[in-house]
Amino acid sequence: MRLFRLSNGVDIPAVGYGSYLSTEGNGKQTIKDALAAGYRYIDTAMFYRNEEEIGAALAECGIPRQELFLVSKVWHTMLGREKTLQSFEGSLKALRTDYLDMFLIHWPMGPDKDTDWLKLQTETWQLMEELYEAGRIRAIGLSNFLPHHIEPLLKNIRIKPMLDQLELHVGYMQEYALDYLRSKEIAVQAWSPLGRARVLKDERVAAIAQKHGKTPAQILLRFLLDRDIAVIPKASSIERMKQNLDVFDFHLSPEEISYLSCIPETGWSGEHPDMM
């Protein structure tokens, strides 16, 4: 599998397994299926309430810990030094590991507009810097942070974020955020890389899929990968899991990438960092 290199030299798989709402019902078996399909990057979060199931699956899978890339996140209600440490230690315990490959701030803020969110972000990040320097986290980053959230944070911290997860997909590419992150040498990863049903069923996507002998989902993932954006698609069936990994034997042409980039905004989840 292709790897993306973070600014600190850590390599991450280009395609990871997104566990949000993917593990309902039989979470442990779903993660075992994902690992059997070939995934080694597992994305989770305290908020997902599936870390214990993931930890149980990892304990039974027989895959050496060093071959896995585990990512978790701290929720906005747990920002601040003491709460973030509590969240981090809780994730380690649930995942049955003594370190995380990456730890992210999940959202820049919550619904309370009177809270000093920058102060809490800074306290959380400074703790994450300490955990990173102590070797308990291999990489630290953000999720759902836009330029106007990142810029003030950068003024208060020593270590620059290594990655930012954003909702990115055909029909919702947030180009201004991509340009900013690349100017800061912050890697980009897409959550919800397949968008919603309207994107998957778009005739323009379907036409390109037919040309390449691929599924629309594979075209949407390849579009992001060809733009140097890592992806964490969700899937509950083994067949879909395997399909989402089978995207490394072709590329889209520059013309196809440009064509897909021009699809009007569609498929947005409705979740925005400033509307939490």
Q: How many helices (H) and strands (E) does the chain have?
A: 11, 10
Q: Hey, what are 107's tokens? A: 């959202």
Q: Is the pLDDT of residue 60 over 90?
A: yes
Percent of the chain whose predicted confidence (pLDDT) is above 90 = 89
Q: In what order do the strands lie in the sheet with 163-167?
A: 17-18, 41-43, 69-74, 102-105, 140-143, 163-167, 187-191, 230-231
Residues, the chain: 276
Digit-coded pLDDT (tens) for 148-187: 999 999 999 999 999 999 999 999 999 999 999 999 999 9
**Per-residue confidence (pLDDT) for residue 270, from 0 to 100:** 78
**Per-residue confidence (pLDDT) for residue 275, from 0 to 100:** 78
| Cα-trace Rg, the chain | 18
From the number of C-beta atoms within 10 Å of its C-beta (0-12, 13-18, 19+), residue 204 rates as middle
The residues, ordered by sequence, that sit 6+ positions from 163 with a Cβ below 8 Å of its Cβ are: 6, 12, 102, 104, 139, 141, 142, 186, 187, 188, 189, 230
Q: Is the pLDDT of residue 51 over 80?
A: yes
The residues, ordered by sequence, that sit 6+ positions from 174 with a Cβ below 8 Å of its Cβ are: 146, 166, 167, 168
- Cα–Cα distance, 117 to 73 (Å, whole number): 16
CA distances from 163 to 11, 131, 188, 267 (A): 12, 16, 6, 23
The residues, ordered by sequence, that sit 6+ positions from 87 with a Cβ below 8 Å of its Cβ are: 46, 74, 75, 78
Contact yes or no for 74/84 (Cβ under 8 A): yes
Domains recognised in the chain with CATH numbers = 3-275 (3.20.20.100)
**Per-residue confidence (pLDDT) for residue 198, from 0 to 100:** 85
**Per-residue confidence (pLDDT) for residue 63, from 0 to 100:** 98
Active site residues: 48
Angle at 67 between CA 144 and CA 234, to 5 degrees: 40
- Give the confidence band of 267 by pLDDT, cuts at 50, 70, 90: confident
- pTM score, two decimals? 0.96
Angle at 273 between CA 132 and CA 113, to 5 degrees: 100
Neighbours of 151 (CB within 10 A): 12
Q: Which residue has the higher pLDDT, 115 or 1?
A: 115
